Amino acid sequence: MTTYLTTPQGRHIAYVRTPGKEPGVVFLGGFRSDMTGTKAVHLQSWAEAQGRAFLRFDYSGHGRSHGQFADGAISDWAEDARTVIDTLTEGPQILVGSSMGGWIALLLAQQIPEKLAGLVGIAAAPDFTEIMWAEATPAQRTQLLNEGAIANPSAYSDDPDVITRRLIEDGRQNLVLQSPLHLPFPTRLLQGSADVDVPPHRALALFDHARGPDIRLTLVKDADHRFSTGPCLAMITSAVEDILKGSPDAG
């Protein structure tokens, strides 16, 4: 059942929480995605079968949460994630971040490392707003600076992706690949070789940049950005199970 949580910033966040044993698992969705996606629902079914605590939610401006998407930025969505974790979970959690959710997970790894038992990145997209800026045409950059927004066609929706000047500028305040990135817990990065939105070289850049005692990258031949085929979904749950094997608190 969908429930709502009001954050300290006054945003109303929709979430679905499954009770169970800890460490729990928290799913962090992607840019313009929502908690009803294939990966989130698959993980919930797995958690229910395992008796494992699980939490999925929509960032503000996404899915069933309140607010307008174009009003949000990385800082807002990271605040949403931190609030639901601080308020709705107990003990360390395994974060599973898809695309933008991978960036959010890395920000949380810096902010609240004591709350993390592990991290799984699925086509993780840290610092992707810099790619948006780099790929924008001179005319688009001028429009962003002067009008505050542009609209790009989306590969995943009939509605265009609205990219705002605030999104780009706020993204620059949250970059994780330009300063030391320590991940002191088991980290599993899953990446498709056929991903055109987050190409494999971005996963390799993250893998090379991050530091930690147990970081592994798995490159999957022909998998795309959705990473939602049956074998890919099985790899996601296997990555979570692998982290749980090493957790002293896993039931």
195 among known catalytic residues: yes
Q: Measured between alpha carbons, how far is residue 88 from residues 7, 72, 109, 145, 185 in Å?
A: 12, 22, 18, 39, 21
Residue from 98, 127, 197, 225 carrying the catalytic annotation: 225
Here the tokens at position 162 are 């609205």
Longest dimension (CA), the chain: 56
In this structure, the number of other CB atoms found within 10 A of the CB of residue 71 comes to 14
57, 15 contact by CB (below 8 A) = yes
- Is the four-CA dihedral 115, 57, 163, 204 of positive or negative sign? positive
| DSSP annotation of 211 | B
Residue from 76, 127, 195, 197 carrying the catalytic annotation: 195
225 among known catalytic residues: yes
Residue from 99, 127, 170, 197 carrying the catalytic annotation: 99
For residue 110, give the nearest of 81, 140, 71, 147 by alpha carbon. Answer: 81
Burial of 139 (0-12, 13-18, 19+ CB in 10 A): exposed
33 among known catalytic residues: no
Rounded-to-integer distance, Cα 10 and Cα 29, Å: 21
Rounded-to-integer distance, Cα 203 and Cα 198, Å: 8
Positions marked active-site = 99, 195, 225
